[in-house]
Copies of this chain bind each other. A is one copy, B any other.
Amino acid sequence: MPPEQAELGSLTRPPATGIPEPQSFSFSVLNRKPDNLRGSGVREARAGRALGLGERWSCLGSFWLLRGLESPKGCVAFLLRQPGSLALSCTFRRLSPQSAPCGTSPCPALPSGPRKIQQEMEGDPALRLRVFDLNCWAIRYLSKRRQERIRLIGDMLRQEDFDLVLLQEVWSERDYSDLKVKLGGCYPFSHYFRSGVIGSGLCVFSRFPILDTLLYQYSLNGYPYMLQHGDWFCGKSVGLVIITISGIIFNIYVTHLHAEYCREKDAYLPHRLVQAWELAQFIRHTSKAADVVLLGGDLNMHPEDVGIRLLRGWTGLRDAFAEATHFEGCEDGCTLVPNNCFTDKSELLPFPLGIRIDYILYKAISSFMVKCEELKTTTGAAPGMDVPFSDHEAVMATLHIQRQGQAAGATLATAEPMLVDVVTEARTEVAVGLRAAQRQRYSSGRMALLALLLLLLQAVAALGALAGLDAGQPFPKLSFCLLACLAIGILLLATGLHLFHTMEVKMLHSTEEQMRMVLRTLQECPSDG
């Protein structure tokens, strides 16, 4: 036995038949600190899984090779560690591209569907990524047939072979845990983003190790007193997970913006625009080291809405629906359609085909090129079922990622010649919201002052009565006390509202100022100049 194999003696593998099959290869304990690792070591590499690579693969990223194991069939198993990150992963490399594939036994845990990740020849790698996005509408006690649908979603995800699953409105952590248990075999890595009172509802399931996560909660998200809408209590956020596939760094964002309850008179438009702006800024600032950026979620905006144009213009993200070579699903890619039994038909009356508010957006930042080969949506009830997965339709994209010679990242000016108009439009809407918030702040402040004044008057009257100055009791004690209670109640409520609207004014003002700064800079170097 060569020394390399002896050092890896603790790997769980069939002792006689040689190297385990790459697709299902797993390792458990590696007790020795490898000699070629500087300053760190692996004491225990927990149950790992092969990256699900296809026929041809190679390691593209900069990894520290911890240990390699050569097989009699010409395969090498690598235990890798990426510098700067703490993630451990295991990948495989065939020594000769022409030789037979390593191993033949199928993986019981992995789905038997087509291989998704294909890496063609070293130097010209291509990668195919299948992404699933769905607003699950899983509100405890409120959503119809919630548990049944969550079960259906889990079953379908286990059968299908997506690489990445982005879910919204999974409000119950119990639902997430159930999905996690069910999907553990196919999607061993997952993350649930906690936020607000109820929770952000956002979670991600991945076939690839999640290296890092970050949550950004939007500074504005409706009003706590709008209990019937309830968005405020969710702490709407954008979640970021970072994964690496064959050395390509993916920044995956999942989000859910404030709902639109009345399109004609949308009181939440300024808040949603602030969210779209913060989302764009968050993506711009956190994706600088990424090769590919992917955003999935329920943006609660129609494709032509100013918020989505702002988001796309300011980040350079492209719409998978618009870019897809092949499309299959609801007409116009709609994700809220009348023939879904859970949708409110009256709300969709002005849109007989439905509306498109769920998106998969993407871009390549460094020297990669991303294409959307195929986009699909579900169309109401799941096949063979009488119940759809959700009131929203799922969006499923197949992305093709390829390295290319020169940097693909289009600059803002070239990507969005109309960006000035979009930012101007967004800024106008935010300014309208700012004025409304200022009015509300003023009204609530005035109300609090009036209540305080009333309380002071009552206190003076009470003191006067105690000092025996009054000529008899002007009005009964009961009314007096009730009035005082009312005044106290109004004072507290109005003060709370005043504080809330002060914060709202601050954030709208801040966003409006940022947009003004960007506009000034854009106007200094217009693309039509």
Q: Assess whether B524 is in contact with A44, with CB atoms less than 8 Å apart.
A: yes
- Asked if A39 is an interface residue, CB under 8 A from chain B, the answer is yes
B510 and A215 contact, CB distance less than 8 A:
yes
* A40→B526 CA distance, assembly (Å): 6
**Is residue A282 within 8 Å, beta carbon to beta carbon, of the partner chain?**
yes
How far is A44 from B492 in the complex, measured between Cα atoms in Å?
52
Contact (A525, B81) CB under 8 Å given A86-B412, A506-B196? yes
Q: Is A499 an interface residue (CB 8 A)?
A: yes
* A413-B39 contact, Cβ under 8 Å, with A196-B503, A285-B214, A522-B86: yes
Give the residues from 357 to 384 in chain A that come closer than 8 angstroms, CB to CB, to chain B.
none
Interface status of A477 (Cβ within 8 A of chain B)? yes
Residues of B within 8 A of A282 (CB): 214
Given contacts A40-B413, A197-B502, A413-B39, is CB(A217)–CB(B219) below 8 Å?
Answer: yes
A317 to chain B, nearest CB (A): 14
B527 engages A40 (CB within 8 Å) = yes
Chain B residues with Cβ below 8 Å from A197 are: 499, 502-503, 506
- Residue in A194, A214, A481, A507 with the greatest tally of chain B CB atoms within 10 Å: A194
Q: Digitize A504-529: 1 where CB-to-B-CB distance is under 8 Å, 0 elsewhere.
A: 00110110001000100111111111
Interface residues of A in 301-338 (CB under 8 A from B): none
Residues A524 and B42 in contact, CB atoms below 8 Å apart: yes
Mark interface residues in A273-288 (1 if CB within 8 Å of B CB, else 0).
0000000011011101
Q: Does A343 contact B (CB under 8 A)?
A: no
Bits for A73-95, please: 1 = Cβ < 8 Å to B, else 0.
Answer: 00000000101101110000000
Name A's interface SS. Answer: mixed
Task: Check: A38 CB closer than 8 A to any chain B CB.
Answer: yes
Scan A407-426; emit 1 where CB is below 8 A from any B CB, else 0.
00101111001000000000
Instruction: For the complex, give the distance between the alpha carbons of A377 and B322 in Å.
Output: 58
Q: Which of B216, B233, B478, B525 contacts A86 (CB 8 A)?
A: B525
B194 touches A506 (CB 8 A): yes
Closest approach, in angstroms, between the C-beta of A52 and any C-beta of chain B? 21
Is A299 part of the contact surface with B, judged by Cβ < 8 Å? no
Q: Are B482 and A514 in contact (CB under 8 A)?
A: no
Q: Check if A195 sits within 8 Å of B41, measured CB to CB.
A: no
A194-B506, A197-B502, A518-B86 in contact; A525/B43 too (CB < 8 A)?
Answer: yes
Q: Is the CB of A43 within 8 A of B285?
A: no
Q: Are B40 and A84 in contact (CB under 8 A)?
A: no
Collect the chain B residues with CB atoms within 8 Å of residue A233's CB: 499
- CB-contacts of A206-241 with B (<8 A): 212-217, 219, 233, 235, 240
Number of copies of this protein chain within its complex: 2
Nearest chain B CB to A224's CB is how many angstroms away?
8
Say yes or no: is A110 at the interface (Cβ < 8 Å to chain B). no
CA distance in complex: A380, B240 (Å): 45
Interface flag for A56 (CB, 8 Å): no
* Across-interface contacts of A285 in B (CB, < 8 A): 212, 214, 240, 286
Q: How far is the CA of A194 from the CA of B257 in the complex (A)?
A: 22
Q: Tell me, yes or no, whether A18 is within 8 Å of chain B by CB.
A: no
Give A449 to B507 CA distance when docked, in angstroms: 35
- Taking the complex as formed, is A106 at the interface, i.e. its CB lies under 8 A from any CB of chain B? no
Residue A45 interfacial (CB < 8 Å): yes
Verify B411–A41 contact, CB threshold 8 A.
no
Quote the shortest CB–CB distance from A152 to chain B (angstroms). 28
Task: Flag whether A33 is at the interface (Cβ < 8 A).
Answer: yes
List chain B residues, Cβ under 8 A from A414: 38-40
Q: Which residues of B contact A194 (CB under 8 A)?
A: 506-507, 509-510
A residues 147-172 near B (Cβ < 8 Å) are: none
| Closest Cβ–Cβ distance, residue A506 to chain B (whole Å) | 5
Q: How far is the CA of A123 from the CA of B443 in the complex (A)?
A: 62
- The answer to whether A348 has its CB under 8 Å from any CB of chain B is no
A217 proximity list for chain B (CB < 8 A): 217, 219
Closest Cβ–Cβ distance, residue A496 to chain B (whole Å):
8
Take A42-B524, A481-B482, A524-B46 as given contacts and tell me if A84 and B503 are in contact as well, using a CB distance cutoff of 8 Å: no
The reply on A199 being an interface residue by CB < 8 A is yes
Q: Is A432 among interface residues, defined by CB-CB distance under 8 A?
A: no
Residue A485 at the chain B interface, CB threshold 8 Å: yes
Q: Given the known A-B contacts A286-B286, A506-B195, are A526 and B86 also in contact in the complex, defined by CB atoms under 8 Å?
A: no
Residues of B with C-beta under 8 A to A509: 194
Top 8 closest pairs, chain A to chain B, by CB: A41-B529, A288-B289, A39-B414, A485-B485, A40-B413, A194-B510, A86-B521, A43-B529
Enumerate 21 A-B pairs (CB-CB under 8 Å) in ascending A order.
A33-B529, A38-B414, A39-B413, A43-B525, A43-B526, A83-B411, A84-B411, A86-B524, A87-B521, A88-B521, A194-B509, A195-B506, A196-B506, A197-B503, A214-B282, A214-B285, A215-B510, A216-B216, A285-B286, A286-B286, A481-B485
